[in-house]
Amino acid sequence: MRRRTILRALESAVLLLALFLILFPIAWMALTAFKRPVDLFGLTFLFRPTFDNFRTVFGPPWNIGRTLWNSFVVALFTVMISIPFSTLAAYAFSRFEMRFKRGLFFAILATQFIPAVVVVLPFYLLFRDLGLLDTHLALVVVNLAIVTPFRTDRGDLWELIAAAGILISIPMFLLAAVIQRHFVRGMTGGAVK
């Protein structure tokens, strides 16, 4: 009985540590988003909050509103195109017998191991020649071919990056909150036979 209590306490401690390690960076980013540049590197939690960082990221040169809209449009069209094609391909591979099925499957799978940086220049040259630079269509095509992570090249404006990060994270957290129940139900329903 005593051993079980110790194991439960140890398990709870590990889970609390994991929770802290997950939530601390999010809380730090949220606090940083409301700090003025003069308060940025202070280790105190007491500071006068400001919304100036949020106003700044919506204006030039950041234009986070336009960036969020562009991301939404590109993600929407990428998903609307890739899900039906991927579903049909997966169905064909799982249900039909065909010549070279295994080789074709591994060839398709092998394309996922090509680093994104390898195809950047060919895509750029193609889109330049077709007059598609700086268009949604070009981004959708690239996203259909490779997965591109969110990046920023502004490394010295931490309070603005934090404000933008909070704004970008809100839709993800809302979506997770809305679909969590359905996600868990699907996971447990598929696991139990």
**pLDDT tens-digit readout, 24-46:** 988 888 888 888 888 887 777 78
Half-sphere exposure of 15 (CA within 13 A, CB side): 6
pLDDT at 9: 92
61 preceded by a cis bond (ω within 30 of 0): yes
pLDDT band at 190 (very low <50, low <70, confident <90, very high): low
Whether the predicted pLDDT of 72 surpasses 80: yes
List pLDDT tens digits, range 99-136. 888 887 787 777 777 777 777 788 888 889 989 888 88
Q: Is residue 136 part of a domain?
A: no
Residue 67 has what DSSP assignment? H
Whether the predicted pLDDT of 150 surpasses 60: no
Q: How many structural domains does the chain have?
A: 1
Whether the predicted pLDDT of 93 surpasses 60: yes
pTM for the predicted model, two decimal places:
0.56
Residue keyed to tokens 């603005």: 160
Mean pLDDT of 160-174: 70
Q: Which domain holds residue 176?
A: 2-113+150-185
Q: Is residue 79 part of a domain?
A: yes
Q: Is residue 129 part of a domain?
A: no
Whether the predicted pLDDT of 94 surpasses 70: yes
pLDDT band at 160 (very low <50, low <70, confident <90, very high): low
Q: Is residue 18 part of a domain?
A: yes
Q: Is residue 124 part of a domain?
A: no
Residue 113 CA to residue 128 CA, distance in Å, equals 26
Q: Is residue 134 part of a domain?
A: no
pLDDT at 17: 95
Residue 88 CA to residue 106 CA, distance in Å, equals 17
Roughly how many angstroms between the first and final C-alpha of the chain, as a whole number?
34
Q: Is residue 169 part of a domain?
A: yes
Q: Is residue 122 part of a domain?
A: no
The per-residue pLDDT of the chain, averaged, comes to 79
